Amino acid sequence: MAKIFCIANQKGGVGKTTTTVNLAAGLAQIGQRALVVDLDPQGNATMGSGIDKRTIETSVYDVLLGTAAVADARRRSPQGGYDLLPANRELAGAEIELVGLEHRNERLRRALAAVADDYDVVLIDCPPSLSLLTLNGLVAAHGVIVPMQCEYFALEGLSDLVNTIRQVHANLNRDLQVIGLLRVMFDPRITLQQQVSEQLKGHFGDKVFDTVIPRNVRLAEAPSYGQPGLVFDPASKGAQAYLAFAQEMVRRLAAAR
Ligand code: ADP
Ligand code: MG
């Protein structure tokens, strides 16, 4: 049975998609069967996995509306080593169309149940909002991974997300928990980042992952080649850090069993 994780943070540009595709590639490299669900109409995880969002015929949109099964819509990332449930701009419409449908919060969870035995881990790349799409992700998941930059306002934004997760836990999904906070785009030369990092550890303790993802330009270059950074430049500091993160995730999962 797959463990399902949302990569969520309602802020844009904080490294959700980079974390999703590189964690998936890292998990694949250490022998885990992984599925990425692109739940963002921008389709960045789709493009960054080497699948052209302009040419996909069946996507997560069809799955949410119930006109396709995950097994029909999923694709293999050509070089990532994992499967992908792709997204494109059509998904933006789902936000409105879902409102009138039955079980509108649970549609992703129900759809993923059919492929739970095909994977060890499912990673859901959430859009930068606390929307109905994100809600579908949170209802489907066992846990949330929160990538964040160690900046002053990062902590403020976090409380909205933590409140949402609490509410979903209380009302819709008793399984849901925060797995951990992942420090990304980290630059140790910046004193403020070190201070915020220490504050995070003080506040959240072992909910802060040991692995720290450095700011590394190779991770930012990789998507334009349709590859996770881990494939594009395996020796780069960013790739090495995401591989270490995949190993940390597997250790934590084993310890939780
Ligand atoms: P989100 O999905 O939260 O909007 P992205 O993963 O798309 O964020 O990241 C935002 C931008 O920052 C992208 O251009 C991405 O390539 C870049 N980026 C993400 N992580 C890193 C990193 N560790 N080092 C350098 N650039 C990064
Ligand atoms: Mg994104």
In this structure, what CATH number is given to the domain that contains residue 151? Answer: 3.40.50.300
Mean pLDDT of the chain: 96
Domain limits for position 251: 3-256
Tell me the pLDDT tens digit for each residue of 105-151: 999 999 999 999 999 999 999 999 889 999 999 999 999 999 999 99
**Residue 160, pLDDT above cutoff 90:** no
Q: Taking 80 as the threshold, does the pLDDT of residue 154 lie above it?
A: no
d(CA 145, CA 98): 25
0.85 exceeded by the pTM?
yes
Residue nearest to atom 15 of ligand 1 (CA): 220
What is the model's pLDDT at position 194? 94
Query: What pLDDT, on a 0 to 100 scale, did the predictor assign at position 240?
Result: 98
Q: Which numbered ligand comes closest to the C-alpha of 19?
A: 1
- 56 pLDDT band, cuts 50/70/90, is very high
Percent helix, strand, coil in the chain, to 5, is: 50, 15, 35
Cα(19) to centroid(ligand 2), Å: 9
When pLDDT is cut at 50, 70 and 90, the band that residue 31 belongs to is: very high
Residue 199 Cα to ligand 2 middle (Å): 26
pLDDT value of residue 133: 96
User: What is the number of structural domains in the chain?
Assistant: 1
Q: Give the pLDDT of residue 249.
A: 97
The pLDDT score that the predictor gives to residue 152 is 82
Q: Which residue's CA is minimally distant from atom 6 of ligand 1?
A: 15
Output phi, psi for 225, to 5 deg: -100, 5
Q: Residue with the nearest Cα to atom 26 of ligand 1?
A: 220
Per-residue pLDDT at 153: 79
Q: Which of 7, 16, 17, 18 to mutate to test the pocket of ligand 1 (most atoms within 8 A of CB)?
A: 18
CA distance 195 to 216: 20
Residue nearest to atom 17 of ligand 1 (CA): 220
Residue 220 has pLDDT above 80, yes or no: yes
Q: State in Å: Cα 213 to ligand 1 middle.
A: 11
Start-to-end Cα distance in the chain:
12
Give the residue, by CA position, lying nearest to ligand 1 atom 20.
15
Q: How far is the CA of 99 from the centre of ligand 1 (A)?
A: 31
Which of the four pLDDT bands, split at 50, 70 and 90, describes residue 30? Answer: very high
Q: Is the pLDDT of residue 257 over 80?
A: no
Over the stretch 181-194, which tens digit does the pLDDT of each residue have? 999 999 999 999 99
CB proximity list for 80: less than 8 A, separation 6 or greater: 21, 24, 25, 28, 36, 49, 50, 227, 228, 231
Q: What is the Å distance from ligand 1's center to 184 Cα? A: 9
179: its two tokens: 């797995």
Query: How far, in Å, is the centroid of ligand 1 from the Cα of 57?
Result: 27
pLDDT for res 158:
87
What is the 3-class SS of 148-166, one letter each residue?
Answer: ECCCCCHHHHHHHHHHHHH
Return the ligand 1 atom nearest residue 125 CA: 2
Q: What is the pLDDT of residues 61-99, one digit of tens each?
A: 999 999 999 999 999 999 999 999 999 999 999 989 999
Which ligand lies nearest to the CA atom of residue 8 in the structure? 1
Protein residue closest via CA to atom 27 of ligand 1: 220
Q: Which pLDDT score, from 0 to 100, does residue 6 have?
A: 98
